[in-house]
């Protein structure tokens, strides 16, 4: 465990926002959590960070930022069809995906190239190209700050939903995720339902894709469409895609026949937030150093020296204009500090 005082968080968030932390504690071993004793038990005392790729700092952190750098991958179980891997929360997500592919396992290849750490994956049940991480999670282990003990949540107890989990709700800031156990398939079970994946595989000349082909296709699509945080600050999709009641969808579809849609659970209809934002004229918009990405309206960007408050204000204006034009209330996906 190392402790530094008065540290800039700019290198620790993919938006590249300047904010300061009173203390930065780098966590490398789970035993350090019990050693911390009751020193960080009040929720306001701490903020846990993995890769900082899903957070917007709108102010300084007056207390302690805990940088999760718990490392290690181990096989805990094997059956004829599956392998269970327990992965420490500080492992880089994409490196872990590549590790599973190299081991001949399938299940998370569609989630290639998502930035961040393994410990944050259950937080919002990361998802992309028709796959959600919840379908491979067996259990999540964490340190419960109030109870001062390690706890294990089964998949069901995590209450996963669309970009949602118990860790963003009841257990928000109460549990530091220390490890995640994944159940992966020995036989490839590919999901190429997304048009973009099928098109990319065709472009690659692949008729019968392997797990690695699907991963390569996802990497190629993402690299061509999404801004690389190393080049331009962003936190991926800033808003969630709303799932609206079908009656509301039908009324909207009458007014806007081009409105794209996808089936969602409970008879609702998912509509792409990026399309709604684009129709309101925001795509490529720039206000100082805060902007909306020119290729993907769902991604807000920092061209250099935007403040978190400026990005937040821009997101407020976008929410208001989408609500006014479509009567749809967008929800922010990015965590706001």
Closer to ligand FAD by Cβ: residue 21 or 55: 55
Q: What angle do CA 99, 105, 108 make, to 5 degrees?
A: 75
In the complex, the smallest distance separating the C-beta of residue 272 from ligand NAP, rounded to whole angstroms, is 4
Residue 73: Cβ within 10 Å count: 17
Closer to ligand NAP by Cβ: residue 152 or 336: 336
Selection from ligand FAD, ligand NAP, none that 68 binds (CB < 5 to 8 A by kind) is ligand FAD
3-state secondary structure 166-180: HHHCCCCCCEEEEEE
Count interface residues toward ligand FAD (CB under 6 A): 32
Buried b (16+ CB within 10 A) or exposed e, 288-320: ebbbbbeebbbbbbbeeebbbebbbebbeebbe
Stretch that binds ligand FAD, among 51-59, 268-276, 300-308, 310-318 (CB under 6 A): 51-59
- Residues lying near ligand NAP in the complex (CB under 6 A) are found at 127-130, 193-194, 196, 225-226, 236-237, 241, 262, 272, 274, 296, 298, 333
Selection from ligand FAD, ligand NAP, none that 121 binds (CB < 5 to 8 A by kind) is ligand FAD
- Three-state secondary structure call for residue 336: strand
Catalytic site residue 261?
no
- Three-state secondary structure call for residue 41: coil
Q: Does 214 bind ligand FAD (CB under 6 A)?
A: no
Between residue 308 and residue 337, which ones bind ligand FAD under the rule CB under 6 A? 335
Binder among 61, 65, 220, 226 for ligand FAD (CB under 6 A): 226
In the complex, the smallest distance separating the C-beta of residue 24 from ligand FAD, rounded to whole angstroms, is 13
Catalytic site residue 333?
yes
Q: Does 136 bind ligand FAD (CB under 6 A)?
A: no
Cα separation of 61 and 19, whole Å? Answer: 7
From residue 168, alpha-carbon distances to 58, 202, 284, 332 in Å are 19, 38, 30, 12
What is the token pair recorded at 295?
């290729």
> Active-site residues: which are they?
163, 237, 333
């Amino acid at each position: 465990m190392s402790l530094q005082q008065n540290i800039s968080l700019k290198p620790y968030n993919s938006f590249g926002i300047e904010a300061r932390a009173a203390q930065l504690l780098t966590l490398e071993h789970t035993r350090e959590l019990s050693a911390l004793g009751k020193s960080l038990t009040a929720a306001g005392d701490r903020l846990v960070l993995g890769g900082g790729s899903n957070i917007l700092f709108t102010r300084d952190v007056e207390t302690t930022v805990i940088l999760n750098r718990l490392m290690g991958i181990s096989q805990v179980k094997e059956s004829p069809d599956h392998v269970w891997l327990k992965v420490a929360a500080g492992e880089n997500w994409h490196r872990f995906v590549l590790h599973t592919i190299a081991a001949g396992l399938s299940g998370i290849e569609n989630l290639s190239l998502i930035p961040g750490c393994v410990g944050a994956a259950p937080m919002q049940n990361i998802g992309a190209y028709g796959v959600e991480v919840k379908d491979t999670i067996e259990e999540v282990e964490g340190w419960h700050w109030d109870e001062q003990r390690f706890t294990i949540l089964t998949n069901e107890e995590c209450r996963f939903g669309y970009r949602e989990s118990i860790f963003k709700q009841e257990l928000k800031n109460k549990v530091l995720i220390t490890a995640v156990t994944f159940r992966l398939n020995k036989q490839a079970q590919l999901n190429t339902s997304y048009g973009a994946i099928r098109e990319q595989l065709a472009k690659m000349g692949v008729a019968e894709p392997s797990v690695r082909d699907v991963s390569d296709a996802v990497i190629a699509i993402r690299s061509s469409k999404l801004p690389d945080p190393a080049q331009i600050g962003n936190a991926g999709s800033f808003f969630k895609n709303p799932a609206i009641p079908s009656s509301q969808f039908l009324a909207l579809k009458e007014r806007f026949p081009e409105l794209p849609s996808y089936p969602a659970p409970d008879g609702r209809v998912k509509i792409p937030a990026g399309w709604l934002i684009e129709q309101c004229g925001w795509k490529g918009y720039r206000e100082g150093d805060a902007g909306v990405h020119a290729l993907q309206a769902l991604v807000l960007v920092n061209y250099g020296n935007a403040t978190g408050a400026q990005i937040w204000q821009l997101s407020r204006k976008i929410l208001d204009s989408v609500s006014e034009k479509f009567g749809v209330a967008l929800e922010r996906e990015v965590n706001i500090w």
